[in-house]
Chain A
């Protein structure tokens, strides 16, 4: 089991009478690109929210995170900010950026868990605080170079085009240097070129920065070309799981989600 980074079992999230996720189980291999797909309202974002601690699943669920070189952690016993500190980072479907702040501040916030400047140290701007601030800036420099954000550094995020905002949010989770990176539809609403760039960035995160990627995506062609392992949700149920090629053959998947478009091929 040591090659797994995340395993969840019997994960059920209920809102009133609606079961957004119903007894989902899954295993994410370390270093892989795990894709979660499904039609609208299938419960994909709910699943990510339950793993990252935003929603509490019903009792009986198990979410275990296996960080490299450290003991296994039961994520359900932690609050969201503690889960982030353990090394699980995520982005939001509709952007979790701080729109009034500039790109630099947003990226530096990604270093929050790695910097340890206290309020008083920061206020006095002590030598140690300056050193840590410099270290944080050097750390995000890599992200800025990778994502070509250099020219936007001082711009308020709210003034930037949507594609760049998506990149900034991606940069912010990269700056957190998580072991497990959960991306909630990072390519939604992007042009074809922007999508290709984003795929390149995701590959870079996986290969160069040794992160495991948990990807929610709508665009089937993207998922089929980059994912190592695919899980398909529909109406809160897991209906299939396997390699992308297997998923393309799976009748339930085609019926539930891929529908006519894939059936024609």
Chain B
């Protein structure tokens, strides 16, 4: 019943968005804003096209591997900084001085240092998302109630077991939320990174189509990129629900 209810509300929201888009298309005309039906039709055809598939695949590869890289580095580092105050004292000033810096401005530097291939793009996306995961994970561990650490000490586990049974599960809800929220930023940075000095990816497709005045193809790119963002967000959301079920039960009270 609940799932049907959610599905229904999402369908309504989707229909409203399409309707607004259609109204916009009628108002602005097909040269400025093609109608959703035309775009959907062109998009479904484009999906069969190997060139389009290539763009989608390389964008997906870049953003997914960047987010994985960010997680692998930032989550353990956040736990370490949150738990080991002494290390945190020296590292966190560095983190907080560089945190507000818009990482995307480093794109030219990264292109110079790491080349025009996937590596520079993956690194710039990973840097942007990694910071958010790092800061939130660290704060989550710092706010961890000391009684859980006491309780664990009374049970006499090793430091490795502490990480596995206390620190990781305690940090997970915050870190998963950060990962989910940063997925939007990740796709935005992906778009920026793909608009320069590359021939592949949805960002390139969108800017290239825009340059040629091909509105339909541009909107196919925009639609693909939006769906990519949505898909990553939903995957993170589902993973969060499964891994942090206890947190959801706590919030419901």
**Do A and B come from the same complex?**
no
Q: Give chain B's interface residues, CB within 8 Å of chain A.
A: none
A residues apposed to B, CB below 8 Å = none
